[in-house]
Amino acid sequence: MFDQILSSLKQQAAPELMAKLGLNDGQATQSVGAAVDSMKQVLGGADGFGMDDVLNLFSSAQNNSAADGILSQVGSVLQGKLTDQVGLEAAKAGGVKDMLLPMITDLIGKYVNGDGGKLQDLLGGLAGGGNLGNMAKNLLGGLFK
């Protein structure tokens, strides 16, 4: 599923990153990949995130404080990837981060659409059955079948 999100994000974001922030094609593509990787890294290795908070992050509702905390962690990881791996200066990386995070949460939110079962499937595959994936399976069980 994250491959589909990456593809959609690339189609949507790359032209905007180039037009609004002056990135070249390679930087735009790498930035999109860094955004998806950051989301995978934070959510896939997460300990202590409640499923309600993750579902809140990917909903149309205003984020609660825990969802904002998750998003902040993703933003920090992304900022580092943009400067270290993509080679952007800090100010430009901040602009890229601010543009990409709402796009990726919106795309995942459209996929999840408030459905805990879809979130469970997404996180289970993302974590490779790891921490958050197992937590999702344990907490949600058969509720959404």
pLDDT category at 140 given cuts 50, 70, 90 is very low
Token reading at 25: 């094609």
d(C-alpha 40, C-alpha 6), whole Å: 11
Domain ranges of the chain: 2-113
List the single range of 5-14, 46-55, 106-115 with lowest mean pLDDT: 46-55
pLDDT at 68: 94
Considering only the top CATH level, what class is 2-113?
mainly alpha
pLDDT at 131: 45
Largest interatomic CA distance in the chain: 47
Average pLDDT rounded to a whole number, residues 65-86: 96
pLDDT category at 142 given cuts 50, 70, 90 is very low
d(C-alpha 83, C-alpha 139), whole Å: 37
d(C-alpha 117, C-alpha 108), whole Å: 13
pTM above 0.85, yes or no: no
Average pLDDT rounded to a whole number, residues 14-38: 95
Looking at this protein, which amino acid is placed at residue 137? K
pLDDT higher than threshold 50 for residue 95: yes
pLDDT higher than threshold 70 for residue 9: yes
Residues 76, 103, 34: CA angle, nearest 5 degrees: 45
d(C-alpha 92, C-alpha 100), whole Å: 12
Token reading at 109: 């939110």
d(C-alpha 32, C-alpha 23), whole Å: 12
